[in-house]
A and B are shown apart, each in its own frame.
Chain A
Amino acid sequence: SQTIHQWPATLVQPVGSPLSLECTVEGTSNPNLYWYRQAAGRGLQLLFYSVGIGQISSEVPQNLSASRPQDRQFILSSKKLLLSDSGFYLCAWSRPTGIAEAFFGQGTRLTVV
């Protein structure tokens, strides 16, 4: 069966510090991978998605970047965090073909102080 791991679960970082959130998927090959951000119990904003190693599409220009160094690894980064980067970050995967049903990790609650 497929599983997705996302860490850390919570993170408190000072303004201007770097960020690295990691997500890995097990039990599937060549998944589509996604990073979403969610504001206070509301809808999901797509930040990045990837259909393969090294292939990253950015949906919203911002202070963040994403990388996919391995087939089942997706990393969200920032060189200098802003207060506005606070939020709930979710990683998800979907099958490379067929219906794009998303399966989510547990999320990371990021607070920038």
Chain B
Amino acid sequence: TQLLEQSPQFLSIQEGENLTVYCNSSSVFSSLQWYRQEPGEGPVLLVTVVTGGEVKKLKRLTFQFGDARKDSSLHITAAQPGDTGLYLCAGERHSGYALNFGKGTSLLVTP
């Protein structure tokens, strides 16, 4: 059973376009993280959200945590080829438990 569902699975867009990817669950999380992974490397942490309704911005990336702390979204404005990669969300259900990861959204941004 997949605890976190990410959509879409694949996304191919042109440079300059905007996009949103989603991470949904029926479970409540004490925190949720977003990671980006490039081929052949380990995931790198982008952001952590902990409060329901929280919005965090990282340059052209905007992350939002749902009010009920069951879902999250990542919005990228004016995507660039350097944004290409696999975006993974991960949730912490209870303190001291291991993170549960979604299957990821594979993003390709072409010039």
Contacts and interface: CB of A to CB of B under 8 A. Distances in A.
Interface of A: 6, 32, 34, 36, 41-44, 46, 49, 51, 57, 59, 90, 92, 94, 97, 99-107, 109
Given A43-B88, A43-B103, A59-B98, A102 B45 contact: yes
B42 A105 contact: yes
Given A100-B92, A103-B45, A34 B33 contact: no
B64 interface: no
Nearest to A100: B92
Nearest to B2: A43
B48 A99 contact: yes
Interface of B: 2, 6, 30-31, 33, 35, 39-45, 48, 50, 86, 88, 90, 92, 95-104, 106
A87 to B, nearest CB: 13
* Binding site secondary structure of chain A: strand
Contact of B100 (A32, A46, A97): A46
Nearest to B31: A99
Contacts of A107: 40-42
Contact of A106 (B6, B33, B41): B41
Given A44-B43, A44-B88, A90-B42, A102 B102 contact: no
14 contacts: A6-B42, A34-B99, A36-B101, A42-B104, A43-B101, A44-B90, A46-B101, A57-B98, A94-B99, A99-B48, A99-B92, A100-B98, A101-B45, A102-B35
Contacts of B48: 99, 101
Contact of B40 (A49, A104, A109): A109
Nearest to B30: A99
B88 A102 contact: no
B42 A104 contact: yes
